Amino acid sequence: MSGGAFDYQQYTITSIADSIQAELDRQGKEIPKENLYGTKEYYEKYPEEKLYSFYPEEIQSKFKEGIKFLRLAAIYAQRIDWLLSGDDGNENFLKRLEQDLKNLEK
């Protein structure tokens, strides 16, 4: 595997972005029964507790902004990692960075 200058922490950044996206994707949906710990009576009294949180539009917008910044940080970490590790030269670094940033915009 290539890289390693940052102990592959760029994948942690990507994982955080993916987790935030998953939070957005599941908002308002029913929580799987195996993840519910309350009693039947509790959920009859508080049926909203059977659903994942739903965030106001302003919060959703900030989540999306955070995801974009995290994905951007992961790209830069990956490209710099490969440059520092000797997997890419200066010219290839710039080309790959430019391509990765274009792909992010899509």
Q: Tens digits of per-residue pLDDT, 8-51?
A: 999 999 999 999 999 999 999 999 999 999 999 999 999 999 99
| Cα 98 to Cα 82: distance, rounded to the nearest angstrom | 14
Asked whether residue 86 is domain-assigned, the answer is: yes
C-beta neighbour count of 89 within 10 angstroms: 11
Mean pLDDT of the region 79-96: 96
| Cα 80 to Cα 14: distance, rounded to the nearest angstrom | 15
- The boundaries of the domain holding residue 46 are 14-105
Asked whether residue 31 is domain-assigned, the answer is: yes
Counted domains in the chain: 1
Q: Are 97 and 76 in contact (CB under 8 A)?
A: yes
Asked whether residue 100 is domain-assigned, the answer is: yes
Asked whether residue 46 is domain-assigned, the answer is: yes
Asked whether residue 79 is domain-assigned, the answer is: yes
| Cα 12 to Cα 70: distance, rounded to the nearest angstrom | 10
Asked whether residue 8 is domain-assigned, the answer is: no
Instruction: Name the pTM for this structure.
Output: 0.86
C-beta neighbour count of 65 within 10 angstroms: 10
